[in-house]
Amino acid sequence: MRKAVYPGTFDPVTYGHLDVIKRGSLVFDTLVVSVGCNPLKEALFSVDERMGMIREEVADLKNVEVDSFNGMLVDYLKTQKTTIILRGIRTVSDFEYEFQRALTNRVLNKEVETVFVMTSEQYSFLNSTLIKEAVSLGGSVSQFVPPGVERRLMQKFKHAYRKNVE
């Protein structure tokens, strides 16, 4: 049985993330989408909110689990009884960054393997920061995130947008 962990911040989950999740669910018997708690990043949504949004969007994928973790990914992999990390790649710069992370993880645990999935081209430019910026300025992001995620984004930025308009 092949199990992989797809770690990320998912702040918020996008159609690009969901593309990687759906494709990963076809490759692995079990895919654990795990929201990482990164102390170097200030998240808009709480870990529980992010997990809830992901759960809503992957409910039809029976082999996908949603979890969260603190600390080192290689330590979390041990708790999940796997050595496989799934990562999405959008651009060449993503590859350079992810390549460094993959090598670092392998130094920390020589059994860890990282599997890269190229994001579908229609999502290759997406990132959560740009989506949050667009919503904060009053833009629609319906083509980038599911309706429930867009609604939550609009609720988070409702007060900030009103201030910008006034």
166: confidence class by pLDDT, cuts 50, 70, 90: very low
Q: What percentage of the chain reaches a pLDDT higher than 90?
A: 75
What residue spans of the chain are helical by DSSP H? Answer: 15-27, 47-58, 73-79, 92-108, 128-136, 147-165
Decide if 162 is inside a domain. Answer: no
In the chain, how many domains are there? 1
Q: Provide the whole-model pTM.
A: 0.91
**pLDDT by residue (tens digit) across 80-128?**
999 999 999 988 888 999 999 999 999 999 999 999 999 888 888 888 9
CATH number at residue 109: 3.40.50.620
17 catalytic? Reply is yes
Residue 6 has pLDDT above 70, yes or no: yes
Residue 161 has pLDDT above 80, yes or no: no
128 catalytic? Reply is yes
Decide if 43 is inside a domain. Answer: yes
Decide if 140 is inside a domain. Answer: no
Decide if 47 is inside a domain. Answer: yes
Q: Which of 41, 62, 110, 159 is catalytic?
A: 41
Decide if 67 is inside a domain. Answer: yes
Decide if 129 is inside a domain. Answer: no
Q: What is the pLDDT of residue 165?
A: 45
List, as residue ranges, the binding site: 9-10, 17, 41, 73, 87-90, 98, 123-129
Decide if 65 is inside a domain. Answer: yes
41 catalytic? Reply is yes
Number of CB atoms found within 10 A of residue 91's CB = 12
Full domain range(s) for residue 33:
3-121
Q: Which of 25, 50, 90, 152 is catalytic?
A: 90
159: confidence class by pLDDT, cuts 50, 70, 90: low
**pLDDT by residue (tens digit) across 49-92?**
999 999 999 999 999 999 999 999 999 999 999 999 999 998 88
2 catalytic? Reply is no
Decide if 126 is inside a domain. Answer: no
Sign of the four-CA dihedral 97, 88, 92, 37: negative
